[in-house]
Amino acid sequence: MKLKQDNSNFKLFYKGREFLSHSHIEPMIYLGLGEENIKMHEGNFDIEDKIIERIALRDVNIIEYEDSIELKFSSDRNKAEFNIKIEEKDGKLYISGCSLNPYFNRVWFKLSAKPDEHIYGLGEQYSYFDLRGKNYPIFTREQGVGRNKNTLVTFLSDSLNGGAGGDYHTTYFPQASFISSALYYVLAHGYHYKEIDLSNANYHEIHIWGDELNISIALDSSFDKLLYSLGNQIGRQPMLPKWAFEGLWLGMQGGSDICNYKLDTMLNAGAKVSAVWIQDWVGRKDTSFGQRLYWNWQWNKKLYPTLDEDIRLANEKNVHYLSYINPHLIKDSPLFNEAEENGFFVKNREGNTYLLDFGEFLGGFVDFTNPAACEWYQNVIKENMLNLGFRGWMADFGEYLPTDCVLYSGIDPIIAHNKWPTLWAKQNYEACKDAGLLGEVAYFTRSGATKTQGFSPMMFAGDQCVDFSLDDGIASVVNAALSLAMSGFGMFTFDIGGYTGLEHMKRSKELLLRGCEFACFSPVMRTHEGNRPKNNHQFDSDSETIEFFVRFSRIHELLSDYIYELAKINSSTSTPTMRPLFFHYPDEEKAYTAMYQYMLGEDILVAPIVLENAVERQLYLPKGKWIHIWSEVKYLGGSEITIEAPLGSPPVFIKAGSETEELIPEILAIK
Catalytic residue ranges: 396, 399, 463
Q: Which amino acid is at 479?
A: N
Helices (H) and strands (E) counted in the chain, each on its own, are 12, 38
Give the angle subtended at the CA of 200 by the CAs of 198 and 205, to the nearest 5°.
55
Helix H or strand E segment including 82: strand 80-89
Inter-residue contact 385 to 311 (CB < 8 Å): no
Inter-residue contact 649 to 632 (CB < 8 Å): no
Inter-residue contact 295 to 339 (CB < 8 Å): no
Rounded Cα distance between 444 and 456, Å, is: 7
Rounded Cα distance between 178 and 119, Å, is: 7
Rounded Cα distance between 633 and 40, Å, is: 54
- Report the relative pairing of strands 273-278 and 248-252 from DSSP bridges: parallel
Rounded Cα distance between 523 and 571, Å, is: 13
Burial status of residue 197 (CB atoms within 10 A of its CB: 0-12, 13-18, 19 or more): middle
Helix axes 371-381, 413-434, angle to 10 degrees: 40
Rounded Cα distance between 392 and 160, Å, is: 35
Q: Is residue 365 classed as helix, strand or coil in its secondary structure?
A: strand
With CA atoms as reference, report the closest residue to 521 among 444, 600, 619, 581.
600
- Dump the DSSP string for 372-427: HHHHHHHHHHIIIIITTT--EEEE-------TT-B-TT---HHHHHHHHHHHHHHH
- Of the CA atoms within 13 Å of residue 630, those in its CB half-sphere come to 13
Rounded Cα distance between 28 and 82, Å, is: 12
Inter-residue contact 144 to 170 (CB < 8 Å): yes
Q: Is the dihedral of CA 383, 142, 50, 178 positive or negative?
A: positive
DSSP state of 665: H
Rounded Cα distance between 311 and 276, Å, is: 9
Length of the chain equals 671
DSSP state of 660: G
Inter-residue contact 421 to 413 (CB < 8 Å): no
List strands edge to edge, sheet with 525-526: 492-493, 459-460, 442-445, 392-395, 320-325, 273-278, 248-252, 525-526
Alpha helices in 527-559 (DSSP H): 543-558
- The DSSP bridge partners found for residue 496 are 527
SS3 for 6-56 is ECCEEEEEECCEEEEEECCCCCCEEEEEEEEEEEEECCEEEEEEEEEEEEE
